[in-house]
């Protein structure tokens, strides 16, 4: 039974055309690592003229919130207007933020990566640093300025994992090395979120939802790179996959029983 997993898309202009895009790495992690079926969710907003959130969540067994070059617009968390030239995707914001809130209420397994992690924080009332590298004492968490992909995917710094937390239980360790490809990061943690990992400079790198009825995990790094080869990434996706499969079995049980009768 392959779980159906929604993947958040970005809205971008390619030459003169508007497109809804998802990196192939996220599709592959769903099909190859998780063993699920991907459903790409376009950035069209949510509501009467956009994504029918309730109908979509009726179908989904999991929700994967992807990374992106764009940033959450500061208006969603009371921040100062973004500087000129900073990439934004308001259509994605208007899609993912309400989708996240309702997915949590309905206990849909949720895994949030990079921008998705920031969306999770903002959706629940938290705020963001718009330029982490400019904060005194903070590291420059942005990707290395090189053309080659491989150097960007290498471990950039360790994270301290909260003892007794979700990640500690999943990973069985209190420290891990992660890559780092982000310019923005969590400032004020949203009410209801719990810190799961922190960088050496104090930047929050992972969080979970307190007393969540289903699997919810957000990380600032990119575990989809080397998803099976990296033991840390493999354990994260294995946990997400198990939660998605369990929901698929629960969701489809009435139809299976009816067919058996």
> Which residue of the set 141, 182, 222, 225 is catalytic?
222
Q: How far apart are CA 72 and CA 79, in angstroms?
A: 10
Question: Does residue 114 carry a catalytic annotation?
Answer: yes
Record the tokens describing residue 226, joined without a space.
């080397």
> Which residue of the set 10, 73, 114, 196 is catalytic?
114
> Which residue of the set 10, 182, 224, 225 is catalytic?
224
Q: How far apart are CA 42 and CA 40, in angstroms?
A: 6
Question: Does residue 76 carry a catalytic annotation?
Answer: no
Q: Which residues contact 55 (CB under 8 A, 6 or more apart)?
A: none
Q: What are phi and psi of 40, to 5 degrees?
A: -80, 125
Beta bridge partners, 159, equal 176
Q: What are phi and psi of 25, to 5 degrees?
A: -60, -35
Record the tokens describing residue 95, joined without a space.
């899609």
Question: Does residue 141 carry a catalytic annotation?
Answer: no
> Is there a contact between 198 and 160 (Cβ–Cβ < 8 Å)?
yes
E runs forming strands in the chain: 4-8, 10-14, 17-21, 37-41, 62-65, 110-113, 128-129, 157-161, 175-178, 185-186, 193-198, 204-209, 216-219
* Residues with catalytic function: 114, 222, 224
């Amino acid at each position: 039974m392959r779980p159906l997993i929604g993947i958040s898309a970005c809205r971008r202009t390619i030459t003169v055309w508007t497109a809804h895009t998802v990196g192939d790495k996220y599709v592959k992690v769903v099909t190859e690592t998780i063993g699920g079926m991907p459903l790409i969710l376009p950035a069209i907003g949510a509501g009467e003229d956009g994504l029918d959130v309730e109908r979509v969540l009726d179908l989904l067994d999991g929700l994967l919130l992807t990374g992106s070059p764009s940033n959450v617009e500061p208006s969603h968390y009371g921040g100062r207007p973004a500087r000129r030239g900073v990439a934004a995707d308001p259509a994605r914001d208007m899609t993912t933020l309400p989708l996240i809130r309702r997915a949590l209420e309905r206990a849909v397994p949720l895994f949030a990566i990079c921008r998705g992690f920031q969306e999770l924080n903002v959706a629940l009332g938290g705020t963001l640093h718009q330029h982490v590298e400019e904060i005194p004492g903070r590291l420059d968490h942005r990707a290395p300025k090189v053309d080659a992909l491989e150097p960007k995917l290498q471990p950039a710094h360790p994270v301290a994992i909260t003892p007794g937390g979700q990640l500690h239980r999943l990973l069985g360790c209190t420290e891990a090395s992660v890559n780092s490809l982000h310019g923005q990061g969590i400032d004020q943690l949203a009410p209801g979120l719990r810190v799961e990992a922190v960088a050496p400079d104090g930047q929050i790198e992972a969080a979970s939802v307190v007393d969540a009825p289903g699997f919810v995990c957000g990380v600032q790094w990119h575990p989809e790179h080397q998803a099976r080869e990296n033991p840390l990434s493999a354990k994260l996706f294995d946990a997400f996959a198990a939660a998605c499969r369990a929901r698929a079995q629960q969701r489809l049980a009435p139809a299976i029983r009816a067919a058996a009768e």
